[in-house]
Amino acid sequence: MRITTPALLLLTICHGFSSCAQTNTWNRKQAAVALTYDDALNIHLDQVIPTLDSAGFKGTFYLIGSAAPFTQRIGDWRKAAAKGHELGNHTLYHPCYGKRPGREWVKPDYDLNNYTLQRMTDEIKVNNALLEATDGKKQRTLACPCGDTKVADSSYLYAVKDHFTGIRDATPDANTVNGFGNRTIQWMAPAGNSGAELIAAVQKAMKDHALLVFVFHGVGGEHALNVSAEAHRELLQFLKKNEAQIWVAPFIDIATFMRKP
Ligand SMILES: [Zn+2]
């Protein structure tokens, strides 16, 4: 007769299965960090990806299918994907609400107020096809331009959710669609922050056993929302030094982990 203590039984069941992870651990680490970069910038290919590669980290790049740094450099994005970086969907034309303060840059043709739900979902699916033609992958995550998700009265997230492993967004609709469970998720969209401030956000995530999602745009230029290359490098150095405690991974890997029962 085999005698199994409850502790041994637990060890047996859970050994090797991340589904047994407690909700306050991240792939057996104290915290998780997703390094995400929006809007398909040349500087992501030319500066950010080489910096990530030298540190051994994989980032997530939310690409706009119509943006010149995508259409003119598809081969470079393909190489980035082959190195393990995630190519995420940031829609075909980046539609946002134009009638808001500071949104003068939104062109009327791409004002989300002028969209139909059908047009929005069609464009998101076409962008998925473009990205699949680039990296060969069928699993993908979505980042909503400007965090705007409603066309008329309905959120387009419900219409496209079956095409995505996760939505990188903190809106109530995204939370509902994602079903990530009872986990602590923190966000930082750096704009002019110092390296020390970026590191402080990571230290807070470590203390809170949280996932911290960085939403970068410009890194050393090319975007109004920008951080210096130096601040970004200091963040990566801190992450590297604390790699034993922090799980740094593409958003899709972390989303997959969070969706496991
Ligand atoms: Zn964007």
Concatenating the DSSP letter of every residue in 61-95 gives EEE-TT-HHHHT-HHHHHHHHHTT-EEEE--SS--
What CATH number is given for 27-259 in this structure?
Answer: 3.20.20.370
pLDDT at 137: 98
pLDDT at 51 over 70: yes
Determine the distance separating the centroid of ligand 1 and the alpha carbon of 24, expressed in angstroms: 30
pLDDT at 22: 53
Determine the distance separating the centroid of ligand 1 and the alpha carbon of 225, expressed in angstroms: 10
Determine the distance separating the centroid of ligand 1 and the alpha carbon of 224, expressed in angstroms: 11
Where do runs of H (alpha helix) occur along 2-73?
6-14, 42-43, 49-55, 68-71
Mean pLDDT computed over 36-40 = 98
Determine the distance separating the centroid of ligand 1 and the alpha carbon of 7, expressed in angstroms: 48
pLDDT at 33: 98
Residue ranges of the domains in the chain?
A: 27-259
pLDDT at 202 over 70: yes
Lowest pLDDT segment from 9-13, 88-92, 172-176, 183-187: 9-13
Number of helical (H) and strand (E) elements in the chain, helices listed first: 11, 12
Mean pLDDT computed over 133-144 = 98
**pLDDT tens figures, 110-134:** 999 999 999 999 999 999 999 999 9
Tell me which residue of 65, 51, 88 sits closest to 167, measured CA to CA: 88
In angstroms, what CA-CA distances link 217 with 146, 226, 245? 12, 6, 26
Determine the distance separating the centroid of ligand 1 and the alpha carbon of 132, expressed in angstroms: 20
Lowest pLDDT segment from 5-19, 54-68, 91-105: 5-19
What's the rounded Cα separation, in Å, for the pair 106 and 194? 29
What's the rounded Cα separation, in Å, for the pair 207 and 80? 32
pLDDT at 18: 42
Mean pLDDT computed over 136-145 = 98
Determine the distance separating the centroid of ligand 1 and the alpha carbon of 72, expressed in angstroms: 18
Determine the distance separating the centroid of ligand 1 and the alpha carbon of 62, expressed in angstroms: 8
**pLDDT tens figures, 146-170:** 999 999 889 999 999 999 999 999 9
pLDDT band at 250 (very low <50, low <70, confident <90, very high): very high
* Single pTM value for the model: 0.91
